Amino acid sequence: MTHRFEDRTVAVVGGGSGMGRSISLRLAEEGAYVYVADLAGDAAEGVAKEITAAGGNATAQQVDATDKGSLNALFDRIRTEKGVLHGLHAQVGMPGPAGIEVDDAQWEKNIDVNVKSAYYTCTLGFDLLKAGRGAISMTSSTSALIGSPFSPIYSLTKGSLVPFARSLALVGAPDGVRVNVICPGTVHTPMLAQFFGREPGADVSELTKNFVSGIPLGRGAQPEEIASVIAFLLSDDASYVTGVTIPVDGGLTAK
Tell me the β-bridge partners of 228: none
Name the pLDDT band for 29 (thresholds 50, 70, 90).
Answer: very high
Q: pLDDT tens for residues 191-205?
A: 655 555 455 555 556
- How far is residue 249 from each of residues 25, 155, 218, 254, measured CA to CA in Å? 21, 16, 11, 9
Residue among 33, 35, 120, 154 flagged as catalytic: 154
Burial 88-126 (b: 16+ CB within 10 A, else e): bbbbbbbbbbbeeebeeeeeebbbbbbbbbbbbbbbebb
> According to the model, what pLDDT value does residue 223 have?
97
Q: How confident is the model at residue 185 (pLDDT cuts 50, 70, 90)?
A: very high
In the Cβ-directed half-sphere of 158, how many Cα atoms lie within 13 Å? 27
Given pLDDT bands bounded at 50, 70 and 90, which one contains residue 212? Answer: confident
- Please say if 33 is a catalytic residue: no
Residue 194's φ and ψ, nearest 5 degrees, are -70, -30
Q: What is the reported pLDDT for 206?
A: 65
The average pLDDT across 209-237 equals: 93
pLDDT at 120: 98
